[in-house]
Amino acid sequence: MRASCYTPLLLLSTLVLYLTPTEALDNGVVGPPPLGWSTWKTCGDASCTHDYCDEEEVKANALAMVNNGMLQLGYDYVLLDDCWASYRDPATNTLVHDGERFPSGMDGLADWLHNEGFKFGIYTSIGNETCSSGGRDITVPGSEGFFEIDAQTFSDCGIDYLKLDFCGNKKTPSYGLPRGKRYHEEFAQALLEAQATRENNGPPIFLEVVAGYWFARSDVGEIANSWRFCEDHHDDFQSTEEALLCLVDQSNEYIDVESSPGAWKYLDLSMVGGEGCSGPPSFTPHCPKQTSANYKLEFLTWTILQSPYIISTDVRNMTDIMTEALLHEEIVGLHQDVTCPPGTLLRHDKLHKQFLFGRTIGSECQEWLVVVANFSEDDREVSVSLKEDFGWDAADEEVVVTVRDVWEGVNLGEVKSGDYEVKVEGGGAEMLRFTKTAYIS
């Protein structure tokens, strides 16, 4: 019988980078980047600065993921953000869930989600407070000073995913640097020890760190399964561009940590379709702050870079762009394929605000998948060079390549050596697959 968790638990949030593959955290997590849903911007609070978040909302969105096909495509994580914990029990020092919002408790919710085929995740902060009250007039305690207790509590409750934020201790500016790496290492170790108490040392607990990269740098893969490398991502086109510009800035640094199975760079939550709106918890339509073209760009860049893809808006109300993107079987399949290395930034044109991302794909990693992202307001003709971008050339020979529009699911024909011109809508992106078929003398 599993230990009870009627009086435990807490929450978290944010950061990530590129160059050599990292050593993965030895906690049994392997395979592709996570797919799932988070409560954070489903909303329901008066200003929609965060999600109200309760058991009814979580279960309803999970059932929607079963019915709309998301679960079958691999979106199997359901994650609570900073909205579930209430206080720390003075007698046991365990975190206590909000009983009004979650009458079944964290263990009850975990059991329900597992029975439906999902994995369950929650949040805490490595500091003395979490980052948000979840719309309540309280201060939610963080895990500082209670790493072992909280890690065991989370494990006993049956969680599969933990988001570890870095809030609290705001009155001590020197708090971060001296303790940042050590705290993350200590919490990761506490979670490993708690996981070891599970039957057969499993199932493993996926650990996301929000600020861990900035302290651990090239060692981040040894303490986390995913890490953010930029600021929070918001439902805003400028925020999306800033997230991708982080790749430009970080790739120029001498420390550049690459993703690998079980250790993934994370671009943060995605709000494709639009974050939720203000109002009571039962009022959760979408209030998009970007265009459909912008959301297409967001989805395509997140997936080619193989960032964990966690959608953070109400999936009970699927808009057209949500259905097109989230349920795109071919793109989701490519995102989950770890046969070849993850995508990288190939080129960036700051003047024309264009990014070219690419990764090799296929059984022998001989094909190329690219995303051309256009952040300018105008439609652009962008060249993809078979020689310069892919290295496809041979002396005195022409390369014959078939081109596929992956988003539309149609083959565009053949191209021989040189450049391939693609028209990209202003504020949008295109995903193309290039397959070399022959050399012709």
pLDDT score of 175: 56
pLDDT score of 169: 76
pLDDT in tens, 321-372: 999 999 999 999 999 999 999 999 999 998 899 999 999 999 999 999 999 9
Mean pLDDT of the chain: 87
pLDDT score of 137: 85
Distance CA 17, CA 14 (A): 13
What is the CA 290 to chain-centroid distance, rounded? 19
Q: What is the mean pLDDT of residues 163-172?
A: 80
Residue type, position 402, single letter: T
Three-class DSSP category at 263: strand
361 CB neighbour count, 10 Å cutoff? 21
Three-class DSSP category at 222: helix
Distance CA 253, CA 392 (A): 28
pLDDT in tens, 53-81: 899 999 999 999 999 999 999 999 999 99
Q: Which DSSP symbol is given to 34? A: P
Q: How confident is the model at residue 91 (pLDDT cuts 50, 70, 90)?
A: very high
Whether pLDDT at 178 is above 90: no
Three-class DSSP category at 103: coil
pLDDT score of 14: 27
Q: Which DSSP symbol is given to 176? A: H
pLDDT score of 20: 43
All structural domains of the chain, each given as residue ranges with its CATH number in brackets, are 20-336 (3.20.20.70), 344-440 (2.60.40.1180)
Orientation angle between helical segments 329-336 and 292-304, nearest 10 degrees: 30
Structure tokens at 441: 């003398």
Distance CA 394, CA 385 (A): 14
